[in-house]
Chain A
Amino acid sequence: MFYGLSGVRHNSYVSDSKLFPVPADRNAVVFFLLLGLAAPYLVSSLYLNSYILPWLIWTAAVLGLNLVTGWAGQLHLGYAAVMAVGAYSAVHAAKFGIPWEFALLIGGLASSVIGSLFAFAALRTKGLYLALTTLAMQFVMDWVLTHSPTIAGGSHASLQSPTFALLGQDITSDAGLYYVAFGWCVLVTIFMLNLRRTGLGRALVAVREKDFAAAILGVNSFYYKLVAFAASSFIAGVSGAILVSTFYFLAAPEQFAVNVSIQVLAMVIVGGLGSILGSYLGAALILLMPGVVNQLFSLGANLLGLDLGIETLAHIPNAAYGALIVIFLMVEPLGLGKLYANVRDYLMVWPFDQLKK
């Protein structure tokens, strides 16, 4: 009905591997792209820069983690550490006077190098053991950041980020910063959408499903795992750098601590492994829900005239937020992305599927 497939026929492999086989999907993407472009004119600056901007940057980061965890099937518990490498190298580079375009690149490459160096060691193990090794990486990074003032910056380990600039233009306005985040998120999304259609993407999926079966098919699983780690680390590094330069304005160890790693992984899992839409929804749920639930509860308490203590009011939303995650995962274990896919699959044939019954 909404996803009319009549008249859509694929006569060649190229047409079959189109980005959006269903026109309705493409239209939806175009609609959201336009909405994203127009957001600074539609949304107040509070929502634009305190909610949407961090959400988009985290979505880009989540997509990166999804590459290694969702596509290549490697559990990664040290993702925030990789983001920290990118953030700190980019800020140091920018402080050194290198233009931000290159500083971001340096951040990404530094992350990529350190991330894949670590992967070299980590990939000798599998599954839960790999997860633990990546967790070790997180702790090493935490330790380095809290013990080396040269890297982490002076007082209370905070490193100020120079004003963000692209092409020699200082970017300070709310809308400008938003577009930087938006641009990066779109870039990563395009990359991830196309990854599915390439040999690399198929090789990664083969490795995920069974790495020795992939080896029999001639896919060098160690090599592809390494590529996955390197690529996802690059995305993590640039995302970390953009997060610091457009949102936090300074880097501090707490922004990339172990709980952040767990949160990103939660975004991937709640959103759905290997799902791009899921990455958006997962990041939104984990990142924004606590604040929103909090406000809803204080609003509700106000409306009902309940005089809850401030502490109770702070703790109830946490419980509700936890319950929300559990409920979503019980309804659809494959994540929020799959929830949408279910609706879509149902509507694709509706109402004609009713005729049979």
Chain B
Amino acid sequence: MKTKTYVKRLAAAAVMGLTSLSAANAAEDKIKFGLCYDLSKSYTFVTPQITQAAQDLATLTNMKGGIGGHEIEIIVEDHGNEPQRGIECYEKLKREGVFVFDTLSTPVSVAVLPRIMKDKNILIQSLVGRGDAADGSVFSQIFPVGPTYWGQAANDIAYIKEQSGGDMKGVKVGFAYLDYPFGQEPIEILKTLAEKEGFELLLYPVPLPGSDQASVWTKVRRDKPDYVVAWLLAGGHVVAAKEMKRNGFPISNYISVNWLNEVDIANIGAEAAIGLKRGTNVAGGQDLPIIQEILADVYGAGKGAGPVEKINDVYYNTGLAIYSAAFEAARLAVEQNGFPVTPDSMKAGYESIVDFDANGLFAPITVTADDHGGGGKTRIEMWDGKTWVPQQDWTAAYTDVIWDVVKESSSKFTVE
């Protein structure tokens, strides 16, 4: 038996020209998280911060004795945003005893999803991937804890409604979006809500990669919308800010998707960006108990996973949020079913998270077997020149409309 596997491995090594096959079976008392991330291509604007947050949070948790006495191990690998390499990473780590994965990339999460479902592993899919995965009754193994883009857009509309005194008749809402699936996703919801609330919806598609928005904002100047909701990424916001200034559109009426951080603010100019709004499910700024604790205990002891400046970034908070929820799920799993954690117990752990917000780090989430999104609450925060100021309480609006869309879309998915 043993010689057979040895021969198999030898042959594999010979075929692939690889010698790194000593699968680590030694440290099985650890709880492993597999982060197959894009560290070199499209998602580099967010992955370093999120990885650092995950590693710091793991360090902090391990310093406090881990989860039920067991250490957490964070395994990070680059997949360059290529589905092929994402699958490679998944298949490799799967065989090394990892069953909780996070790809933080829409193309790769879409590509590994069928395998995760078939193998009954767990995929953390916060803020990326298909939105209907929030439907836990269909996507039993996928946990997109946080808002869907649909929910986020609906919450933005709810905020605008609040600001317009509860009546949206005659209000014009512009929607500037990158013209591919990421940006197109909220359109249907916005159309439904426009009909329901009676506001006028104006669509402004921005061609990829979002660096040319001149025609979009001249149109905005002509149409004079009251608000512009923007589904753009990183540099796209900077271009938009310039064009807003040129076309006399107040930046305070600009509501960005959650993908806007301090780097973009610095590029716009911290002063020029005052008033800019951003929908988010994670509190911004560093004045949070968990971040203070990490600064004192992890960075204070020189054990930080990266430069300490990177903490001043909402994406760092986002990373902490994703992994606070994941570690909480693991903690519940150990509490309920003991060690070792299995995919089943991890799933049960996730599904028994109730009203958890990691001390005010993010919108309280309650994950159930049906709702893997945790409620989808967000709020609007405003940049005041130095930090993010919340403009409202955590809310989840129009949930019935969102769930109609989620159910309609998820009903087409079957596990093959």
**A51, B409: Cβ atoms closer than 8 Å:** no
CB contact under 8 A between A310 and B107, given known A46-B92, A47-B15, A249-B115: no
**A155, B132: Cβ atoms closer than 8 Å:** yes
| CB under 8 Å from chain B, chain A span 275-328 | 287-288, 290-292, 294-296, 299, 309-311, 313-315, 317-318
A136 to chain B, nearest CB (A): 15
Contacts of A50 in B (CB 8 A): 87-88, 91-92
Contacts of B106 in A (CB 8 A): 156, 254
A248 to chain B, nearest CB (A): 6
Contacts of A317 in B (CB 8 A): 78
Is B374 an interface position by the 8 A CB rule? no
* Closest residue of A by beta carbon distance from B79: A291
Is A118 an interface position by the 8 A CB rule? no
| CB under 8 Å from chain A, chain B span 1-53 | 8-9, 11-12, 15-20, 39-40, 44, 48, 51
* Closest residue of A by beta carbon distance from B17: A292
CB contact under 8 A between A252 and B416, given known A156-B129, A311-B39: no
Q: Taking each of B40, B44, B48, which has the highest tally of chain A beta carbons within 10 Å of its own beta carbon?
A: B40
Is A220 an interface position by the 8 A CB rule? no
- The listed residue (A155, A157, A162, A296) touching B416 by CB distance below 8 A is A162
CB contact under 8 A between A146 and B180, given known A158-B130, A247-B87, A252-B107: yes
B43 to chain A, nearest CB (A): 11
* Closest residue of B by beta carbon distance from A48: B12
Chain A interface residue number, banded: 35 or more
**B12, A250: Cβ atoms closer than 8 Å:** no
Is A232 an interface position by the 8 A CB rule? no
Instruction: Number of B interface residues at 8 Å Cβ cutoff, please give it.
Output: 52
Is B359 an interface position by the 8 A CB rule? no
A248 to B412, CA, bound (A): 18
Is B391 an interface position by the 8 A CB rule? no
- The listed residue (A162, A254, A295, A311) touching B18 by CB distance below 8 A is A295
**A311, B16: Cβ atoms closer than 8 Å:** no
Contacts of A98 in B (CB 8 A): none
Is A216 an interface position by the 8 A CB rule? no
B51 to chain A, nearest CB (A): 6
A233 to chain B, nearest CB (A): 22
Contacts of A160 in B (CB 8 A): 114, 413-414, 416
A255 to B44, CA, bound (A): 20
**B413, A43: Cβ atoms closer than 8 Å:** no
Contacts of A42 in B (CB 8 A): 8, 11-12, 15
* Closest residue of A by beta carbon distance from B91: A50
Is A127 an interface position by the 8 A CB rule? no
B26 to chain A, nearest CB (A): 15
Q: Mark B70-110, 1 if CB is under 8 A from A, else 0.
A: 00000011101011110110011001000000000011001
**A310, B76: Cβ atoms closer than 8 Å:** yes
- A–B Cβ pairs within 8 angstroms, 6 of them: A153-B412, A250-B114, A252-B110, A254-B106, A288-B16, A315-B39
Taking Cβ atoms with an 8 Å cutoff, the residues of B that contact A are 8-9, 11-12, 15-20, 39-40, 44, 48, 51, 76-78, 80, 82-85, 87-88, 91-92, 95, 106-107, 110-111, 113-115, 129-132, 179-182, 184-185, 306, 409-410, 412-414, 416
Taking Cβ atoms with an 8 Å cutoff, the residues of A that contact B are 42-44, 46-47, 49-52, 54, 146-147, 153-158, 160-163, 247-250, 252-255, 287-288, 290-292, 294-296, 299, 309-311, 313-315, 317-318
Q: Which 6 A-B pairs have the closest CB atoms?
A: A314-B39, A314-B78, A249-B114, A254-B107, A155-B130, A50-B91
